[in-house]
Amino acid sequence: MKCIINRRAEFSASHRYWLPELSDAENFARFGLCTNSPGHGHNYVLYVAMEGDLDEYGMVLNLSDVKHVIKHEVTSQLNFSCLNDVWPEFQAMLPTTEALALAIWNRLAPHLPIVNIQVFEHPELWAEYAGNSMEAYLTISTHFSAAHRLALPHLSLEENTEIYGKCARVHGHGHNYHLEVTIKGEIDPRTGMIADLVAFQKAVDEYVVEPFDHTFLNHDIPYFGKVVPTAENIAVHIRDLLEQPIRTIGAKLHKVKLIESPNNSAEVFGLPVEETTHKATEQPELAKI
């Protein structure tokens, strides 16, 4: 029987985004404060996912052996280092989060049956790599606060309460929404990026966070004048808002995850190109996902 196990590890390291073939102004325009010398540091968190058959002892792998391999091949080399200098692959490619996930995969693959590498640069930025050539995933997390009411306009308060419970109360209620947006793309062999991180963050802020923050969604966001703002419908609308801006920065929207509360979240995945074009002209319908 196949089973996937995960091992967590940590290391602290610094890095700098700087390309010698660019001028100071060009580097700053592309990488912002990350160009500052001698660099800046992070407390990285690494998750290594491995798949295999259960043995007679009920294990996929001996975790003591896994811990030793990860330490020997990765964390002992990277801990308290400057990533730009420690591994030769970062002489040709900048040590971005995406590039780091790829490099760690290549270091561990000969020794462990890995199926996914996840690297957290900090709690609001992480990358994943699953062995698919140069394709990687990059996620940013953010938040906004908003109120909503769950009710269909053609139903009475009693009927809406039957469907939505307390969420149908006429004055609505609020949430501190946590939003995770994941994009995918090919890692650039020089910059180490699948897309411009600043442009990625700007797209999420401009199309979602700023318009949605501190609003009553039903009244302040035109889409939700016709569509019930459930967590599912909000996630779908955010996906539709971000599809084209993410394509503009050279990546593909992979997933939107909206966490309404610790007990309630919704996830939707990106659309094929042809469906994205169709959605741009589609009129919203009541409570339709």
**DSSP string for residues in 204-218:** HIIIIIHHHTTEEHH
Q: Are residues 171 and 276 in the same domain?
A: yes
185 & 127 share domain: no
- Domain total of the chain: 2
Alpha carbon distance, N-terminus to C-terminus of the chain: 36
Domain holding 82: CATH number?
3.30.479.10
- Residue 157 shares a structural domain with residue 287: yes
Residue 256 contacts residue 268 (beta carbons within 8 Å): yes
Q: Give strand ranges (E) for 111-230.
A: 114-122, 125-129, 135-148, 173-186, 215-216
Listed residues 76, 102, 131: the one ending a domain? 131
Q: Say if residue 266 is in the same domain as residue 136.
A: yes
Host domain of residue 61: 1-131
Q: Determine how many CB atoms are found less than 10 A away from the CB of residue 248.
A: 11
Six token digits for residue 240: 């539709």
Q: Is 193 exposed, middle or buried (0-12, 13-18, 19+ CB in 10 A)?
A: buried
The verdict on 242 and 137 lying in the same domain is yes
Last residue of a domain, one of 62, 97, 131: 131
One domain, residues 109 and 229: no
The 3-state DSSP class for residue 97 equals: helix
58 and 123 share one domain: yes
Whether the CB-CB separation of 235 and 260 falls below 8 Å is answered with no
Residue 109: name the closest of 135, 130, 93, 88 by CA.
130
pLDDT tens-digit map of 116-143: 999 999 999 999 999 999 999 999 999 9
CA distance 87 to 37: 19
Contact 114, 148 (CB under 8 A): no
Residues 86 and 61 in one domain: yes
pLDDT for 53-86, tens place per residue? Answer: 999 889 999 999 999 999 999 999 999 999 999 9
* 31 and 158 both lie in a single domain: no
* H helix intervals, the chain: 24-31, 63-70, 76-78, 83-86, 89-92, 97-108, 157-164, 197-204, 210-212, 217-220, 231-248, 273-281
Same domain for 117 and 188, yes or no, is: no
- Please give the share of the chain, as a percent, with pLDDT higher than 90: 90
- pTM for this model (two decimals): 0.91
DSSP structural state of residue 32:
G
> Which residues are identified as catalytic?
167, 214, 260
Last residue of one domain, picked from the residues 64, 98, 131 = 131
Same domain, 18 and 76: yes
The pLDDT mean for the chain works out to 93
Strand partners, 51: 4
Asked whether the predicted pLDDT for residue 239 surpasses 80, the reply is yes
275 and 253 share one domain = yes
pLDDT at 286 over 80: no
